Structure 1
């Protein structure tokens, strides 16, 4: 093989990496991950507290178990979480029904931030408010339901990890597939969104199981070094890491979903029409070639 042939092979190998690097810069990887982590900490977690205040004791225990499963919280930290959820009378008395409505609308800050990430990944303009507002609330409600079910889901509903692990992966993939379609207001068809769902769902499932191994020790070390603020720093670092994984997965998904090889594969599927969804919202359907499979050869 001559020198020119080697150079051509290297260029073909480097071109996708260059494209991915450019796309990650366009999506603002670190800024997006930090914003999503901050909105989760400042808006979504208070919503959990308010929801727990109105939930019966059995659901409070289920939520505590699910958070323990997701975050790997054990020992004294888990007991403090249970105590916080069980001591919900003051929160319920202080907030009332209005409190849960306010907390729900405040938590849409996370939905809005995630929607902007999805739109940047696919180079779409900001959706119209009338098309997006209900989607922010719908995503939060489904997210809460999935979070509630994490403990029994990972336990395979009593069957153990043999069933729990594949179930968790399947649910994560379906959740991220639906999330992209919802947040993009139907402007991208389901088929191009599948690679992002597979990559992000699998990566997030792996991150969730990894947290069970590393988070307990990290929480304990944080407490020993920084006192009560230590676990907070650890939790924020974990959130940023998780959302870095999510943003990278969504970006990789857009790259794969608009590639020529995936376009050829999708065209072979019966009843599948790759590209933009013709039934999308009016929030802006123009914006580059994001819904077509003609970007790369």
Structure 2
């Protein structure tokens, strides 16, 4: 037993020494690893994807069902561009977006739409928690007005409506669509962090995270054009409509994981000495005994 304890102590001491050497040689990498552990990236990304699938997607269909035809067509065009919808999946999405009949409209009405909107604010709160953990803001460190959650949802729907137009470069081609999408994604995530953090962090420190997230999600969007159409067609042929649900949920998890890692990486970079002074970033918390929210 004493040998086992001594070996365990030596292993722990060796691990701590290796950590100190790595922090000296590659401080950014070690700080990023520590931040990702504190954010709990897999749990955060999975919860965010589940909230998107269970609350934001139904809100999107409710919005499309009651929106004017021109808005509904634009949304469908954007979904086709973002996910490469075709065949039975495209037909199913079109059916879900059909306007309700008069009886259903009277049954659901404004109250049903408000309930869908309130439920979808769970996504806003999940993104808010992600940003707070990435920036190590303690639980209860800031109070967010509920209107910010609704404003973020409105922004999200507006950005999705423009997805197809931006992806095609306003009809001029992908060569223009990629840089335009990158710029718009940067602005979207820059404003998202500032809005959902309640202005607790200044604009300049939030820029690295916005740039990294925009670049990662733009690259992921390009990959979706190659992967999703084939995956959806294959799973629908084998498992029916249930297969498309698994594919889309899996893709949402990948997107949310990418966003989680990117926002956290941006916060770490902004707090490193070579950028912190220029950006006016808050000092990072290095106390392992006091984890962020």
Indicate the TM-score class for this superposition, using the shorter chain for normalisation: 0.7 to 0.9
**The 10-residue stretch of structure 1 (172-181 or 201-210) with the greater mean CA deviation from structure 2:** 201-210
The corresponding residue for 1:169 is: 182
> Which residue of 275, 283, 287 maps to 2:281?
275
Q: In structure 2, which of residues 165, 170, 173 is the aligned counterpart of residue 160 of structure 1?
A: 173
Q: Which residue of 2 aligns with 1:247?
A: 260
> How many angstroms apart in 2 are the aligned matches of 1:19 and 1:234?
33
Number of the residue aligned with 1:118: 131
Distance change in 2, residues 1:208/1:88 (3 Å): farther
TM-score after normalising by structure 1: 0.83
Shift of residue 209, structure 1, vs aligned partner: 1.7
Q: After TM superposition, list the pairs within 5 Å mapping 1:176-255 onto structure 2.
A: 176-255=189-268
**Partner-residue secondary structure (3-state), 1:131:** coil
How far residue 229 of structure 1 moved from its aligned partner, in angstroms, is 1.0
Q: CA deviation at 1:39?
A: 0.3
Q: Which residue in 1 is equivalent to 2:90?
A: 78
Give deviations 1:87-131, integer Å, cap 9, x for gaps: 433653431111111111110000001100100111113457863
Tell me how large the CA RMSD over aligned residues is.
2.2
Relative distance call for 1:95 and 1:181 in structure 2 (3 A) is: same
- Indicate whether 1:64 and 2:70 are aligned: no
* Structure 1: distance between partners of 2:175 and 2:104: 39
Q: Which has the higher contact order (CA 8 A, sep 6+)?
A: 2
Please give the residue correspondences for 1:15-164 in structure 2 after superposition, counting only pairs within 5 Å.
Answer: 15-89=27-101, 91-126=104-139, 131-164=144-177
Aligned residues: 266
Matched-pair contact (CA < 8 Å) for 1:176–1:201: yes
What whole-Å deviation, never above 9, does each CA across 1:187-214 have from its counterpart, x for those lacking one? 1011111100000011111111211111
Unpaired runs of at least 5, structure 2: 1-19, 287-293
Unmatched segments (≥5 aa) in structure 1: 1-7, 267-273, 277-286, 291-297
CA contact (8 A) 2:213 2:262 kept: yes
* TM-score, normalised via structure 2 length: 0.85
Distance in 1 (alpha carbons) for counterparts of 2:233 and 2:136: 42
